[in-house]
Structure 1
Amino acid sequence: MSEDARARLARAQGRVVASLVAGAPPPEGFDAGRLGVQAAALVAKRRGVVARLRPDAARAAGPALAAEFAAYAAARTVPPPGYRADADDFAAWLGARGLMPAGKPRRWTRLFRRDRG
């Protein structure tokens, strides 16, 4: 594959990723509905892991967790680098909105790892 072809492929892949995680319009030739479904699934996956890593944040959001996390995710052009950062950023986002109680959070990583294996 030529360098030019690789560069075109990389740009095309970047547009797909931007559509999935940053709300960018779908690239030409892609089904907007299907990309939307996949983007929602990725947000739901992130939300589930974040809720396991920071159950205090999930409790603070309460029944509005799905809506709060969707709003948080939509407010970012790029997800944080890793689930722990995502969980802590979500808790901080809730705190800035007055939904998260003040105080130092309990760390749940060890419990999460124990549950996973």
Structure 2
Amino acid sequence: MTDLDRRPPEAAPGEGPGHDSGGAAGSEARAELARAQAELLAALVAGGRAPGGFDRERLRIQSSSLIAKRRGVVARLRPDLLRALGGDFAAEFEAYARDRPKPSGGSRADARDFAEALRAAGRISDAPGPPARPWWARLTRRRTG
């Protein structure tokens, strides 16, 4: 018999030494952790207040970075909005996204909601954007003549 054969079985997830398997204290700790995570998430993506113990400036920088990432994706999905707004695109998207988390529908829903917000504010016409191109169309080049 080798050392590997004598090894004790691994604990199942949520079991083992140092793990509170339940009870009132475990439930309260999980609820507190969930609350703290929700506060942190709100601070990062929905303009919420920074939770205690976190560096507000670093959270602001990270939040801005996440908005910039969203802005880049929306610009790729809706280049018509980028053209229509020109140099105001970044500021307009920042104003839109600052207190609004990314929709559950993903990036396309984010782009659609941003366009709707711009239309409602009178920043763009009511004309719909260009038809969506399939992903594979970006891989091919147009050849003329």
User: TM-score, normalised to structure 1's length?
Assistant: 0.87
Root-mean-square deviation (Å): 1.9
Preserved CA contact (<8 Å) 1:52 1:112:
no
* TM-superposed deviation, 1:102: 2.4
Pair 1:16 & 2:35 matched: no
Count residues in correspondence.
Answer: 114
* TM-superposed deviation, 1:75: 4.6
Q: Secondary structure at the match of 1:98?
A: coil
Preserved CA contact (<8 Å) 2:44 2:60:
yes
Deviations 1:62-87 (A, max 9, x none): 101110001111253x3212101100
1:91 to 115, 121, 131: 115
| Inter-CA distance 71–58: structure 2 relative to 1 (3 Å threshold) | same
| Inter-CA distance 112–49: structure 2 relative to 1 (3 Å threshold) | farther
Whole-Å Cα distance in 1 between the matches of residues 133 and 36 of structure 2?
36
Give aligned-pair identity as a percent. 51
Pair 1:58 & 2:82 matched: yes
Deviates more, 1:93-102 or 1:34-43: 93-102
Preserved CA contact (<8 Å) 1:53 1:109:
no
Preserved CA contact (<8 Å) 1:21 1:39:
yes
Deviations 1:31-83 (A, max 9, x none): 0000000000000000000111111112122101110001111253x321210
Preserved CA contact (<8 Å) 1:57 1:90:
no
Larger helix proportion, structure 1 or 2?
1
Whole-Å Cα distance in 1 between the matches of residues 62 and 90 of structure 2?
16
| Inter-CA distance 28–18: structure 2 relative to 1 (3 Å threshold) | same
Gaps spanning 5+ residues in structure 2: where?
A: 1-19, 21-25, 140-145
What's the counterpart of residue 103 of structure 1? 127
